Every structure is written in C-alpha cells, then in structure tokens.
Chains A and B, each alone.
Chain A
C-alpha cells in the first residue's frame, strides 16, 4: 500500500517585478509517495526552484502564492498527521517541519555554508534544532556520526575545519549531513550536483541514492539534466514554463516519451557510447512569463506543433494510468507523429541494455 507523503495541488506562484508579474509556477500537481524519488526536470528558469520553495516555507519578498495546497503527511507522537504547509503558521513550519520533517540540499556547495563558522558548529546547530534536549557528549557523537554517514573518513579533522578548507564535493557532503541531522522524512535536492565536477557528481549522486534507500526517504530531486535522474528517480515530472508537461515513471519517460519537449531534453543528454559531438540543444528560449501564455507554452519552439497548440492549452492526456502528457499530439484527432529517429534508436539501445542488466 503506497502512502502519500506530499501532495501538491494546483500550486501557482508569481513574482512581482518591475517588468510585471512573473508566472513562475502555473498550477502544478504531483504526489510524492513514501520511499519514492520524484524528479523535477526542465531547463533553467522553468520554475523548478520556485515550485519547491513554498514547501520549505521560503518566502521571498516579491513572491505571491496565488493558489494551491501542499498537503504533507508525517508521523507525530500521536500518530499520523496531515497539514497544508501553505495554511499553517511560519512558526509551526519552523518548529515542526523545517529541518525535522523536510530538509533541503542546495545547488551551490561553495556558497551554502557559513564561511566563518566551523563545520561541527554548523552541523550541531541543525542537530540541536531538532533535539533541543541533547547533551554535549551526545551532540558531539551525533555530529561525528553524521559526518561519517556522508562518507567522510577523517571526521575528527573535518569537523574542526572551515568551509573554505574543503573541496566542493566535501562541502556538498556536509550540506547533506546537515540535511540528515533532523532525521527528515522528505529530502528536497535542488540541483545538488550542478556545481560539481563530473567525477564528483556521480559520487554525490550515489550518496544521495544510498541514503535514500537506507533511510527509506522520500526525495524530490530537481535537475535540468534528464540524464542524471535515470538511475535515481522512481517518477519523473517534466516541467516547462511553470507547468508539468509530462509525468510518468522513469521507464515511461525514458522509453516512451510523448511530449516533444521531453524528446528535446532526452536528445540533449550526452550518450556515453557515441563519439562526443556537438550536443543538440533545444532551439529557442523559454517564453517571457510576465506575459499570459496562450496554448502550449512550448509551441513556438516545437517543430511538431499543431495549429491548436498555439491557441489552446492542451489537457493532460492519459497514456496509461501513471503516464500523462500535455500535448495535442495525443489527441485522437491529431495526425500521427513519429518520435525523432535518432532518439528512437537510442531508446531501443537503452531498452536492450536495461534488459541485459536485468538478467
């Protein structure tokens, strides 16, 4: 029986600016079940970060939440409790949720630690926030434990250091240690590997995956690189211009993608087996979100776009009961469009590899 940990309903987020109101998130819906990793994928500026900030009660001065519900279910001493994170007070979010039930790993490990505070103090602060009664000895032990949990060998040395003395990979491990310090049930990773070297990226990715498995965490994993999520996600939400345009299991998205935007994202994932050549990127840029969007926001960049794509917002067409995509190409009246042949070949290959791996 799957338990839903987080359910986002019709979330709309705007930012007031001098140039108008940026409709960063235009009504998104998704669920995160216990022990699942849900990926949010899309180009930079698609509203991925904007869509998770309200979960942590992060309130920028010009941010306006136009509508929506964020229902979060967690265990308390008195059993299970479900709250709408947008309705409860900031005080309650701070004392009950942040760091304790939901924790976050940020994009840039080089700047996300306090430059003038020792590592141990930064971790201890997080531990104390969730267990205020802890005594000094236990606190020390817990800090060391956390540093070791994230795969750092010489915890004794590292805890006495300052952020600038550590490499980017090490810093990101510390950030993960801080996130784990309150034993959260939901972890939000906002581009956790984007700022890192390719070799380190894989290690951090594996660390997150291991931690997710061993602690049965639910994870929201944000990235602009669809290639990163193949090994880590259970479900994938593809986001474009503040909307989810395709959602499905990882297999659905990788083996049977339906939205031309998803095709574009898949094509721009580097293929390790092919000789390195110019990576195709999706032509054009994301639309100006201060202007109202008519039809499918992706239509102007979409070479398969139908007339109706420019006029009317496509609904989420069902492919199967866990796979949906918002493109008029899925309407039964639409002409049959084949997915790009290069991509088709790649998918066949991936499928074969996956089968081989499975045996």
Chain B
C-alpha cells in the first residue's frame, strides 16, 4: 500500500510538471500581448515587459514562474484586475464555484444513487423504465437547457427563486444553478449504479450469497450495494471535478462570478498570469482529486490494499 501511494504521488508530480511546461510554452506561442493598449508607446510597453520579467529568455521565464508557483506565488494580474495577486483572485472566485459544485455533486449523486438502486432492484418493471427515461433525459439535455427551463418556471413564472446570482443571498441564489448542474451527475450515477448492481446480481458470488438463505435486503445491502459503493467512487470523481471547476455555461446562465467566468475574462484579455494560474490550479485540483480517489479506492478495496510489493 505504501508503495502504491508513493507511486501515485510520483505520477501526480510528474504529470503536474509536464502540464505546466506544455501550457507555458503554448501560452508563449500564442499571438497577442497583455499590453495591447493603443495609447501606450513602445518604450512604455518595453518597460512593462521588463517590470514583469517578460523580456528574459523563455526558459528563464519558465524557471522563475515554476519557482514562484512552488512557493504559491502566481504573480499578479496584468489586465483583468490590475496588480491583484492571482491567488487572491482564484480563491475569491473559486469559493462560489466550489459551493455550487459540491452542492450539485451531493444532490446529483444521492438522488442518482437511489434511482439506480430502485431501477436495479425492480429491473424490467415500470420503475426501471421510468428511471431509464429520466436518466436518458438527464444525460441528453444540455445543462443550459435545464437552466433555462427551471429559471423560466421558478424565477419568472412562480418568482420563488432568483434567476441571477445575488451576493446578499448566496444560498438561495445557488439553488437553481445547483439543480441545473446536478442533472448530468444524477443521470450518470443512476446509469452506473443500475448497471453495476445488475452485473453483481448476475455474478457467482451473488449466487453463493443467495444460496446461504439470507434475507433479500441483507443480500442487497451486504453484497450488492457495498460493492457498488466501492466502485462508484471512481466515476464520481471525474464528475465532481467537472462540477467544482465551475461550469462556464451555468455560471454565464445565472450570472455567477465564479472561477469559470474569471477564466473566460482572463483568456479574452490575454492575462497570462491569471490564465496560467487558473490552469495550474485546475491541474492541481484534477490531479489532487484523482489521487485522493486512487488512495481511497486502495484503502477500501482489499484487492489493492493487501497487494504487497509490485
């Protein structure tokens, strides 16, 4: 297990380094400058370049940047919020994305889970078909359509929930975006849980457990749901990453000042530090969550936990 964790950690670090390198190079190769204000003279622009260390050789720039990043310094914004530290900006905006993303993950996975269990246990009945119908809808409807529909109903028709983000009521204004964001997760989890449970209920170990003469609910809880829960973590993680990263579409639809919104503004303004900072942050987030999931999975699944060596 120790070896397993170490290996995962090493892979994570290498991946992160490579991602940063690639992004840095790509960013540099792109046309456009952060200081393309027509009122500035060449001399003024050159001075700004010098000030931010953008005039040295590219490897030195990268090296400096990497060094700063390791110490948690992503530099300051050049254009979007001039001279504000990128870290501060990221955390300000991420807080909102994280809240809505977590809420959507929890809502979607809990409802999806129960729907999946219902569909699997009642396989082939009207319940199964109903759950399948709902999840097909959830997977195929783009979430901005869901966003439109629910804001039309709850915000414009019934007027019970705000259709745009209000700083003064962070929770109430997060309800509609949470629902819109959760439908895909809900549908995916429903599909996964249903299919995984059906596979297990067709397995040899289910047959053996059933032959012991234990009660049906015990059979389902101990042998089916337990094993499904273990594997559902692996599908949940990538879904969760998508949600907490801040859905650009949903943030736009509900005017949420989240990380996705910031990312778009920074890209449009060629604000290198902010773009690179957010991308690096995303990479850390993705890799971090996958790492935690891998380790968690290793802890839960005895087949990995107990495999010494290798």
Specify the chain B residue showing the minimal Cβ separation from A181. Answer: B212
Contacts of A125 in B (CB 8 A): 209, 212, 214, 218, 222
Specify the chain B residue showing the minimal Cβ separation from A103. Answer: B211
- Name the segment of B45-53, B200-208, B264-272 touching the other chain: B200-208
Q: Which one of B212, B222, B230 has the greatest number of beta carbons of chain A within 10 Å?
A: B212
Contacts of A103 in B (CB 8 A): 211
Specify the chain A residue showing the minimal Cβ separation from B200. Answer: A114
- Name the segment of B90-98, B150-158, B253-261, B299-307 touching the other chain: B299-307
In the complex, which residues 134-185 of chain B have their Cβ closer than 8 Å to any Cβ of chain A?
none
Contacts of B208 in A (CB 8 A): 104, 106, 112-113, 175, 178
Number of interface residues of B (CB under 8 A): 26
Complex CA distance for A181 and B303, rounded to whole angstroms? 26
Specify the chain B residue showing the minimal Cβ separation from A115. Answer: B303
Q: Are B205 and A99 in contact (CB under 8 A)?
A: no
Number of interface residues of A (CB under 8 A): 35
Q: A125-B214, A125-B222 are in contact. Are A114 and B209 (CB under 8 A)?
A: yes
Contacts of B215 in A (CB 8 A): 94
Contacts of B212 in A (CB 8 A): 98-99, 125-126, 129, 178, 181-182
Specify the chain B residue showing the minimal Cβ separation from A61. Answer: B124
Q: Are A111 and B213 in contact (CB under 8 A)?
A: no
Complex CA distance for A97 and B213, rounded to whole angstroms? 7
Complex CA distance for A295 and B109, rounded to whole angstroms? 58
| A312 adjacent to chain B (CB < 8 Å) | no
Q: A61-B123, A125-B222 are in contact. Are A114 and B227 (CB under 8 A)?
A: yes
Contacts of A113 in B (CB 8 A): 205, 208
Q: Which one of B211, B222, B302 has the greatest number of beta carbons of chain A within 10 Å?
A: B211
Specify the chain A residue showing the minimal Cβ separation from B206. Answer: A114
Q: Are A108 and B204 in contact (CB under 8 A)?
A: yes
Specify the chain A residue showing the minimal Cβ separation from B307. Answer: A164
Q: Are A129 and B213 in contact (CB under 8 A)?
A: yes
Q: Are A130 and B213 in contact (CB under 8 A)?
A: yes
Q: A94-B216, A162-B302 are in contact. Are A116 and B209 (CB under 8 A)?
A: no
Specify the chain A residue showing the minimal Cβ separation from B226. Answer: A116
Complex CA distance for A182 and B212, rounded to whole angstroms? 8
Complex CA distance for A106 and B206, rounded to whole angstroms? 11
Specify the chain A residue showing the minimal Cβ separation from B229. Answer: A116
Q: Are B213 and A182 in contact (CB under 8 A)?
A: yes
Specify the chain A residue showing the minimal Cβ separation from B223. Answer: A114
| B210 adjacent to chain A (CB < 8 Å) | yes
Q: Which one of A61, A111, A116, A162 has the greatest number of beta carbons of chain B within 10 Å?
A: A116
Q: A125-B222, A162-B302 are in contact. Are A112 and B213 (CB under 8 A)?
A: no
Q: Are B302 and A95 in contact (CB under 8 A)?
A: no
Q: Are B213 and A116 in contact (CB under 8 A)?
A: no
Q: Are B303 and A104 in contact (CB under 8 A)?
A: no
Q: Which one of B209, B213, B227 has the greatest number of beta carbons of chain A within 10 Å?
A: B213
Contacts of B209 in A (CB 8 A): 114, 122, 125
Q: Shortest distance in angstroms between A322's beta carbon and chain B's nearest beta carbon?
A: 31
Contacts of A318 in B (CB 8 A): none
| A273 adjacent to chain B (CB < 8 Å) | no
Complex CA distance for A116 and B205, rounded to whole angstroms? 11
| A199 adjacent to chain B (CB < 8 Å) | no
Q: Are A95 and B301 in contact (CB under 8 A)?
A: no
Contacts of B301 in A (CB 8 A): 116
Q: Are B204 and A112 in contact (CB under 8 A)?
A: yes
Q: Are A112 and B223 in contact (CB under 8 A)?
A: no
Complex CA distance for A111 and B204, rounded to whole angstroms? 6
| A173 adjacent to chain B (CB < 8 Å) | no
| A200 adjacent to chain B (CB < 8 Å) | no
Specify the chain B residue showing the minimal Cβ separation from A93. Answer: B213
Scoring B residues 104 to 125 as 1 if CB is less than 8 Å from chain A, else 0, what string do you get?
0000000000000000000110
Q: Shortest distance in angstroms between B280's beta carbon and chain A's nearest beta carbon?
A: 37
Q: Shortest distance in angstroms between A17's beta carbon and chain B's nearest beta carbon?
A: 15
Q: Shortest distance in angstroms between A262's beta carbon and chain B's nearest beta carbon?
A: 30
Q: Are A116 and B211 in contact (CB under 8 A)?
A: no
Q: Shortest distance in angstroms between A304's beta carbon and chain B's nearest beta carbon?
A: 39
| A224 adjacent to chain B (CB < 8 Å) | no
Specify the chain A residue showing the minimal Cβ separation from B216. Answer: A94
| A133 adjacent to chain B (CB < 8 Å) | no
Contacts of A271 in B (CB 8 A): none
Specify the chain A residue showing the minimal Cβ separation from B301. Answer: A116
Contacts of B226 in A (CB 8 A): 116-117
Q: A residues bordering B, Cβ < 8 Å? A: 56, 58, 61, 94-95, 97-100, 103-104, 106-108, 111-117, 122, 125-126, 128-130, 162, 164-165, 175, 178-179, 181-182
Question: Known pairs A175-B208, A181-B212. 5 more at Cβ < 8 A?
Answer: A107-B204, A108-B204, A112-B204, A117-B222, A125-B218
Leading 6 A-B pairs by shortest Cβ distance: A99-B213, A98-B213, A126-B212, A111-B204, A112-B204, A162-B302
12 CB < 8 A contacts A-B: A56-B211, A58-B210, A61-B124, A104-B208, A106-B207, A107-B204, A115-B205, A126-B214, A129-B213, A164-B303, A164-B306, A179-B211
